[in-house]
Amino acid sequence: MHLKESEKISAIKRVRQVIKNGMFLFGLKNRLARIGIEIMPYYWVEEEAEDCAAPQIKGDFSEFIFRELSFEEVKFISKEIDNMQMDLLEKEYQQCPLCLGLEHNNEIAAYMFIGLNNVIFRDKLFRIKSNEAYLTSMWTFHAYRGRNIAPYLRYMGYQFLKEQGRDVKYSISEYFNKSTIKFKNKLNSRHLQLYIYFNLFGKWKRHYMLRSYTDK
């Protein structure tokens, strides 16, 4: 087989993989959002619906310290993230002021925000009870990717919340973000409802529930 032919087949395989993983439609959705048309299907998820085993970090997990982070720490380290909008980060923190992270050699490897009260997502209210929590904004820094850091931090967050009497954990997964869905499924998460959100030029906003997975 000629090299050019091989390259063409390889390119086709990559395109198929992108479409299979939902990233093509995910990218198209983001492009529409840039011109003021936001169409976002998403799942309301219960994380760790059943107890899961502790994920293993690749390497020596004893080198990592699990702890609460201050918002000042998060703001400082987030400056390293490309295209990070600090105003959105601050808005996220106001609603979800508990930040948990993993530290490695005095460097933050990953973090996530947690809300303990009612949360508003795209103007829609989700009620959070006293034994519940809402998990959002997970981020792993590039130097630590590929080491199973995110699932481990998520699991440690579950244990932290259980100690606080919060044994029900919710989050949102965008429908086209297959990597996020796969990541949460490994932690025994389950979809509760499927919604779709419309925002047309900031003037017309609506959420519609397309399906409930809890109906018998």
Q: Average pLDDT of 174-202?
A: 93
Distances (CA, A) of 63 to 43, 59, 103, 155, 215: 35, 9, 8, 17, 44
Specify the pLDDT at position 22.
56
Asked if the model's pLDDT at residue 105 lies above 80, the reply is yes
Specify the pLDDT at position 12.
52
- Residue with the bigger pLDDT between 30 and 144: it is 144
In terms of Cα–Cα distance, which of 118, 111, 115 is closest to 152? 111
Q: Average pLDDT of 131-158?
A: 94
Specify the pLDDT at position 155.
97
Q: Percent of the chain having pLDDT more than 70?
A: 85
Q: Which helix (H) or strand (E) holds 50?
A: none
Mean pLDDT lowest among 90-94, 102-106, 110-114: 90-94
Q: Within 13 Å, how many C-alpha atoms sit on residue 51's CB side? A: 3
Specify the pLDDT at position 89.
84
Q: Average pLDDT of 45-55?
A: 96
DSSP 88-146: HHHHHHHH--EEEEEEETTEEEEEEEEE-S-EEETTEEE---TTEEEEEEEEE-GGGTT
